[in-house]
Amino acid sequence: MPELVVALITLHSDDLHQRYQTWLREVDQPTAERMPGVVSFQVYRLGEPALSGVPAPDHQYLELIEIDDLDAYRRSAAAVPAAFFEQFRSYVSSAASACTVRVV
């Protein structure tokens, strides 16, 4: 059964949204989609709370990577060039909770 890798992303500053989203489309998504074990890759920009009384999220993006082979995904992620992660860190101040989740 496929699993999801979930990450909550926070950018260094609000003025990076457009450049980050361009990098997502041009670099991050194609890289992820070529990785063995990856079925799909989606990123959502988090907006305002849907219910009153609920605080705004601390993070700005939700990244969902559907995988069908966790070991293959880990191996392929470890092989991604360091320059990719340098670019990622130039936009992102926090990538919290990069963990797998399963439907129960």
| Amino acid (one-letter) located at 79 | A
- What is the residue extent of each domain of the chain? 3-47+58-101
Is 1.20.140.10 the CATH number for 3-47+58-101?
Answer: no
* Rounded Cα gap, residues 95 and 17, in angstroms: 15
Q: pLDDT per residue over 24-66, tens digit each?
A: 999 999 999 999 999 999 999 999 899 999 998 889 999 999 9
Q: pLDDT per residue over 69-90, tens digit each?
A: 999 999 999 999 999 999 999 9
